[in-house]
Amino acid sequence: MTGAAATGEQQLTPPVGRPEKRRLHRFESSALGGVLVREMINFSSYWRSTTFSSTIEPTIYLLAFGFGLGSLVSSVGNGISYEEFVGTGMVAMAVLFSSAMPSMFGTFVKYQFQHTYDAILAAPVDTEELVSAEALWMAMRASVYGCAPLLVAIAFGLDPAWGMLAVPAINFIAGFGWSCFGISIAAFVKSIDNFSYITSAVITPLFLVAGTFWPIDQLPEWGQALAQINPLYHCVELVRHAAFGWEGWSDVWNVAYLIGFGALMWRIAIIGMTRKLVD
Amino acid sequence: MSDSPHAIRLRGVVKRYGEITAVNGLDLDVPTGTCVGLLGPNGAGKSTTMRILTAQAIADEGEIEVLGYDLPGESKQARAECGVVPQLDNLDTTLTVEQNLIVFSHLYRVPRAERQAAIDRVIDIANLNDRRHTVVDELSGGMRRRLLIGRGLIHQPRLILLDEPTVGLDPQVRQELWALIDRLRSEGVSILMSTHYIEEAERLADTVTIMSHGQAVAKGKPSDLVAEHAGAEVLEVYGPPARLAEIEAQAVATGQRTRRTGTSVTILDSASSNGHGQDGVRRAGNLEDVFVLLTGEEIS
């Protein structure tokens, strides 16, 4: 086993007879599929509780804000009632809470406590595929659960509109971005306690300038400017326009902004998780 | 012989974590179809080496070849063909035995038509037939380990990486797992097994590589290593600590090598150097003597 013999070996070993060398691509559908299957099987064991809370929550909010505050506020302009305004605004909020939050906590738990990602990365799955599949799964979930407030609002009297059929797609795009945001946070925090800083200092203030519970034109100019960079605001806008009428180029911009946000967060999540998972 | 001669071949592999060099110029070979035991005390770099082999740690220097693939560039291909049994149990605890295997049959790309057969085969190997629908949380430690090993076999890999396969298990369970590992070896699967249980390496490994401070300090058949470093026969002398120190000093003065064995001092290779006879228990040299001799008595 001398060094010289060892280096010569590579040429001497005939490539024939070796089991066929399979070139794997950077993104493999079977790798993404494997991670998704894991999530779906897991989901089958806890979907009841998730579905319960994502339906009950908007109902309570709608009752509280819609009928509580709504009795003081008759309409929010353009003939939209306050209940309708809040009902549609809450779709974006439901998307945020069903993607950013579970991604943040889920990623941290799977990485730190369950070592699930160690098992997955020992299989032919790369970090990039792992992160992408997790975000896709969360986006799908957010797409569905984000519709709950809309359905509740319809039950409370919001008129159904054809445009609402686009809501799952809007939710999916926004959910993908928020999920990657959550994964990124999980990749950079040191301990699970640090999530409190993120929820109070980042996520909660997002509501202030998103137009969920009140229109942003009520805000001072700096607030309106902040809304423009807040992805939540763009999601709120899109859902409202889906329900009450599209607004042309402004909606194209909203979609483009959400896609851009998703793409940026996706790359950050991959960089963060690679740093965390691969020494 | 259709395979490459080595399932694993490492040359001069270095892995640093900041100031700490976990692996420091490691050479390691796993000839195809053999079981190599990677022995070493805690902190010797065994686990880092295992992570390097799945590209979960990227080496700073050195050549790494797994199943003919160069790492880290072709690691995904290598991972597709090798099975990994981690030291830490990372099963999905809320899922059943079968569900865990379904997930991994997907992750390891078992073709749809073969999936059910692959799962049945693993459940059979892991001897979990009556636990198929049991949630992992409700399995005993030994069952979980068997499932963990079985999970790594779902795609019938040519190479298996076992990281401390029996750590923390009681003797009965360990023996059961040894039988399982031995069966795999007899079927021609290449195995790299890291362990700090000497008996485990002695029983299962064709060759052992002893690691210390990130390097291979000895490699060979367990029996050869024993003959070379410890000798066929050793003498264990018991006594109070002061007496032991005295014996040690005497032995060293006459050119004999010793090692502490807790409550006794072992004089190595005592058969070839009799005449300085001490009263003690004669016994055959073993791999543990070699291990302690080469990796040091104090654990850093």
- Interstrand relation of B258-260 and B264-267 (parallel, antiparallel or unpaired): antiparallel
Residue B189, both tokens: 């699967």
**Residue of B2, B67, B76 to mutate for A, most A C-beta atoms under 10 A:** B76
Let me know whether B156 and B73 are in one domain: yes
pTM of the model: 0.88
Q: Classify residue A19 by its DSSP letter.
A: P
Determine the 3-state secondary structure of B159 from DSSP.
strand
d(CA A136, CA A36): 8
Question: How distant is the alpha carbon of residue B238 from its chain centre?
Answer: 31
Residues B53, B140, single domain; the answer is: yes
Residue A219: what pLDDT? 86
Closest-CA residue to A97 (of A64, A136, A55, A160): A55
SS3 content of chain A, % helix, strand, coil (to 5): 80, 0, 20
Final residue of a domain: which of B225, B260, B295? B225
User: Does residue B265 share a domain with residue B153?
Assistant: no
Q: Are residues B196 and B92 in the same domain?
A: yes
Whether B51 sits inside 8 A of A6 (CB atoms) is no
> Total domain count for chain B?
2
The ipTM of this complex is 0.86
| Greater model confidence, B153 or B254 | B153
What does the buried/exposed string (b/e) look like for A115-134 if buried means 16 or more CB atoms within 10 Å of the residue's CB? Answer: bbbbbbbbbbbbbbbbbbbb
The pLDDT of A155-183, averaged and rounded, is 95
Burial class (CB in 10 A: 0-12, 13-18, 19+), B132: middle
Does the structure show a pLDDT above 80 at B68? yes
Q: Which residue, of B179, B209, B225, is where some domain finishes?
A: B225
* Same domain for B247 and B104: no
B40 domain residue, yes or no: yes
* The dihedral sign for the CA sequence A116, A120, A122, A128: negative
B1 is a domain residue: no
Same domain, B100 and B245: no
- Same domain for B160 and B262, yes or no, is no
Inform me whether the C-beta atom of residue A4 falls under 8 Å from chain B C-beta atoms: no
For B60, nearest residue in chain A (alpha carbons)? A279
* Torsion of the alpha carbons at B92, A122, A140 and B99, rounded to the nearest 10: -30
CB A82 within 8 A of CB A74: yes
Contacts with B137 (C-beta within 8 Å, 6 or more apart), sequence order: B93, B94
Q: Does residue B185 have a pLDDT over 50?
A: yes
Q: Where are the domains of chain A?
A: 30-40+52-277
Nearest CA in chain B to A27: B76
B15 and B113 fall within a common domain? yes
A17: pLDDT strictly greater than 60 = no
Q: Is B102 on the interface with A (CB under 8 A)?
A: yes
Residue pair B194/B38 in contact (Cβ under 8 Å)? The answer is yes
Verify whether the Cβ–Cβ distance A124 to B80 is below 8 Å. Answer: yes
* CATH (domain of B78): 3.40.50.300
Q: What is the pLDDT of residues B194-246, one digit of tens each?
A: 988 888 888 899 999 999 889 998 898 888 888 888 777 788 888 888 888 88
pLDDT value, residue B277 = 60
Residues B77 and B132 reside in one and the same domain: yes
Chain A CB contacts of B94 below 8 Å: 42, 45-46
> How many residues are recorded in chain B?
300
Domain residues for the domain of B92 are 6-225
With CA atoms as reference, report the closest residue to B295 among B232, B214, B222: B214
- The verdict on a CB contact (< 8 Å) between B51 and A38 is no
The token pair at A4 is: 């010289």
Contacts for B124 with CB less than 8 Å, ≥ 6 apart: none
Nearest CA to A28 among A130, A103, A167? A130
